């Protein structure tokens, strides 16, 4: 879906609107998924429904880019395994045990973890600003999980959220070694969803899914909502629309704006969970969440680049789409 880059204020305004819509769509996935899990669906089954449904919707794009599996098989496999199956499975499993906002804030440690990979595995120096961002994010996380109270949340839930962050790091690092010219990011998303759906089919065993739950309703902060409507939101809005609007919007935004929008997903998810699920965070947790997001933004924006990036290239407003951006650049 090629979109011409424009420097007009209208183009930037449209890009910002699409990016905000993408953040809202992505941030709403956990809020819609948690009532389904509490209604009786296994977290892995919800993930499978999300990925398989989105893969079906994106199938025409996969057919259009049918040469991608031959040209970039490892890239598509890595994206499907880590960016789709790994992140979503760990995140949905985490929100079944801990609040949505806490899970996503822990997941946003990924930029800080990437800096750890750069420093200790690749043996490359990092800037003082990046190191400060890591420290800030770690301190914020300590406030979010309330370490002074002996971790006020389920330890397994926190571990699963951290695993989601590690999956993000995995595909971010993979992207740094792969890619190439002429790779359409929407094609990579389509095939990543197909690969992820295939992997999750083996793990989630959807033939054991309790389909009767989808015919009923789920409770959202005391209100009965049709389960099928929640699933439709997860598939069509929180996955397909979120990815597509994110990819289109990034071509109209500056790196600074895109970085700020990247952090809005966690803000949106926490706010929606507060309003729709009644998951209230304490003042120290809110303050800690702000520190996590600020630290993640500093760490991400201060990461040393391997080579100069031409002005026309744009980073995607989400870590998952950072992978696609790196693929597109062929870095």
Where in the chain are the domains? 17-329
Least confident of 130-144, 182-196, 201-215: 130-144
Choose the most confident range, by mean pLDDT, from 130-144, 157-171, 244-258, 301-315.
157-171
Selected residue with higher pLDDT from 3 and 113 = 113
* pTM of the entire predicted model: 0.76
Percent of the chain exceeding pLDDT 70 equals: 74
Selected residue with higher pLDDT from 109 and 80 = 80
Percent of the chain exceeding pLDDT 90 equals: 28
Q: How confident is the model at residue 313, as a pLDDT?
A: 36
- Confidence at 33, pLDDT banded by 50, 70, 90: very high
Does position 7 have pLDDT exceeding 60, yes or no? no
Greatest alpha-carbon pair distance for the chain in Å reads 55
- Confidence at 38, pLDDT banded by 50, 70, 90: very high
């Amino acid at each position: 879906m090629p979109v011409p880059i424009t420097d007009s204020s209208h183009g930037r305004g449209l890009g910002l609107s699409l990016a905000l819509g993408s953040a809202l769509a992505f941030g709403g996935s956990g809020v819609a998924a948690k009532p389904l899990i509490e209604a009786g669906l296994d977290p892995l089954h919800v993930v499978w429904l999300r990925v398989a449904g989105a893969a079906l919707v994106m199938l025409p794009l996969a057919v259009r880019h049918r040469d991608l599996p031959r040209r970039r098989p490892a890239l598509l496999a890595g994206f499907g395994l880590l960016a789709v199956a790994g992140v979503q499975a760990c995140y949905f499993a985490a929100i079944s045990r801990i609040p949505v906002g806490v899970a996503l804030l822990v997941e946003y440690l990924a930029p800080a973890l990437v800096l750890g990979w750069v420093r200790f595995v690749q043996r490359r120096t990092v800037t003082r600003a990046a190191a400060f961002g890591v420290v800030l994010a770690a301190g914020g996380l300590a406030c979010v999980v309330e370490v002074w109270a002996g971790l006020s949340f389920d330890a397994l839930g926190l571990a699963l959220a951290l695993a989601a962050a590690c999956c993000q790091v995995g595909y971010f690092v993979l992207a740094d070694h792969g890619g190439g010219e002429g790779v359409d990011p929407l094609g990579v998303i389509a095939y990543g969803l197909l690969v992820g759906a295939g992997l999750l089919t083996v793990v989630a065993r959807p033939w054991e899914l309790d389909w009767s739950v989808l015919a009923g309703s789920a409770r959202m902060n005391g209100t009965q909502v049709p389960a099928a409507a929640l699933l439709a939101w997860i598939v069509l809005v929180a996955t397909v629309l979120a990815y597509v609007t994110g990819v289109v919007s990034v071509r109209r935004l500056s790196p600074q704006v895109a970085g700020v929008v990247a952090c809005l997903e966690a803000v949106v998810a926490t706010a929606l969970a507060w309003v729709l699920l009644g998951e209230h965070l304490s003042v120290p947790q809110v303050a800690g969440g702000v520190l996590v997001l600020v630290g993640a933004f500093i760490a991400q924006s201060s990461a040393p680049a391997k080579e100069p990036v031409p002005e026309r290239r744009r980073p995607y407003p989400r870590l998952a789409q950072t992978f696609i951006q790196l693929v597109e650049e062929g870095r």
